[in-house]
Amino acid sequence: MNAINAGDTAWVLIATAMVFFMTPGLAFFYGGLVRRKNILSVLMQCFILGCAISLVWVLLGYSLAFGPDKHGLIGSFAWAGLRGVGVAPSDYAATIPHLQFMAFQMMFAVITPALIVGAFAERINFAGFLVFSILWSLLVYAPIAHWVWGAGGWLYKMHALDFAGGSVVHISAGAGAIATAVLVGKRTGYEHEPQPPHSLPFTVLGTGILWFGWFGFNAGSALAANGTAALAFVNTNTAAAAAGFTWAVLDWWHTGRPTLLGVATGIVGGLVAITPACGFVSPLSAIAIGVSVSIICFCMVVYVKPKLGYDDSLDAFGVHGVGGLWGTIATGIFASKAVNEAGANGLIHGNPAQLWTQFVTGVIPFAFALVMSIILFKIVDALIGMRAHGHDELVGLDLSQHREAGYTVLE
């Protein structure tokens, strides 16, 4: 039996709290980008998922994602209600309590459906959103997590490299985002009237919280206080910095002015893209991934989205879906066993087969999440309704869905 290591346990406890903090950070990142009449609705959506998905994860989600394998596709019900999940180490993490590993993974399960909020912001029916998100967590997130990270998962057995969630978190959320954005329809007045962010300072605050929390997200995924955690930490910061700087340059070139929103978007894009690669590539490769993801996501948001005409309100698909897919593929290009013996060599280090594995690791989960998101949306829409009524959307979701106002103006 492996012994609990106090240093590893302390670090993963801290990292778990950091990843938890990312969901409130996401709430402010998204909340600043919507109009003032909808800020509380976005905050509510993120915070209620912190409550609902935490409960779902304890009751069933963890067992389905990480429980004893069923044909490489899903975990069993053996650990439902955390039965058998105690303070002893597990096969997933040899030096921390099993309960701690469960809690760390719970924070990933919470933030993933919250990322989708950015796709349908300002026009979603709260009841439909909540039911959809719970079902999505169980029927989309849990299976993909098992495929990639669960012992016996089919992608796990293919030696897919996803250090901290490029496929499990960002690609799955990106697929859910584009599906729901198209199915729920465009915001009233979209393309005909300006709908600018109401508080860029909130968005920048959210960006800072996300950047801070991402160190726990990525470096914590080493599940130990060791050299791999240090590598992931450095790569996380390096890619974010490269991507934020690159987006500023692209904005400068495109509009003649660098924008703070562009820098914030670039930082998040860099964090997304480095997530699957952070424990497997060198810092110089992290710069290449950060620069390239900014170029790719910038083109997606500035050129492709307007051309196709869909309303991904806050670019959840354009940044998380596209950035996650590129990061997963880039891992197959830049991965090096010289920096992490437990990983694999990628294309530029003489192993083109890993690039194919990474392509499969990106495309199949995306396709599965896309199809399942469409099915779940259609079911919930038929039973409850997913789109807020026109008058509710006009008034704003803060008042119409929650009878609260984000700002009170005294006459």
Q: How confident is the model at residue 411 (pLDDT cuts 50, 70, 90)?
A: very low
Q: Compute CA distances 356 → 123, 332, 342, whole Å.
A: 39, 7, 19
Determine the average pLDDT of the residues in 314-343.
97
**DSSP assignment string, 141-189:** IHHHHHHHHSTT-HHHHTT---SSSIIIIIIHHHHHHHHHHHHH-PPTT
What local confidence, expressed as pLDDT, does residue 222 receive? 98
User: Whose CA is closest to 175, among 330, 365, 302?
Assistant: 365
Residue 292 near residue 274 (C-beta atoms within 8 A): no
- Which pair of structure tokens corresponds to residue 367? 């396709």
Residue 227 sits at the vertex; the CA angle it makes with 221 and 231, to the nearest 5 degrees, is 70
Q: pLDDT confidence of 409, banded at 50, 70, 90?
A: low
pLDDT bracket for residue 30 (50, 70, 90): very high
157 CB-near residues (< 8 Å, 6+ apart): 72
Contact by Cβ (8 Å): 273, 239: yes
Instruction: Return the residue matching tokens 């026009």.
Output: 123
> Tokens for 240?
């974010």
Whether residue 213 is predicted with pLDDT greater than 50 in this model: the reply is yes
For 148-165, write each residue's pLDDT tens digit: 999 999 999 999 999 999
* pLDDT higher than threshold 80 for residue 318: yes
Burial class of residue 410 (count of CB atoms within 10 Å of its CB; 0-12, 13-18, 19+): exposed
- Owner of token pair 């998204």: 30
Q: Which amino acid is at 70?
A: K
Residue 410 predicted with pLDDT over 60: no
CA 198 to chain centre: 24
Whether the CB-CB separation of 162 and 93 falls below 8 Å is answered with no
| Residue ranges of domains in the chain, CATH in brackets | 6-402 (1.10.3430.10)
pLDDT at 333 over 60: yes
The pLDDT confidence band at residue 69, using thresholds 50, 70 and 90, is very high
Task: Look at residues 306, 377, 347 and name the one whose alpha carbon lies nearest to residue 135.
Answer: 377
The pLDDT value recorded for residue 194 is 84
CA 345 from centre of chain? 25
Longest alpha-carbon distance in the chain: 69
Say yes or no to pLDDT of 328 above 90. Answer: yes
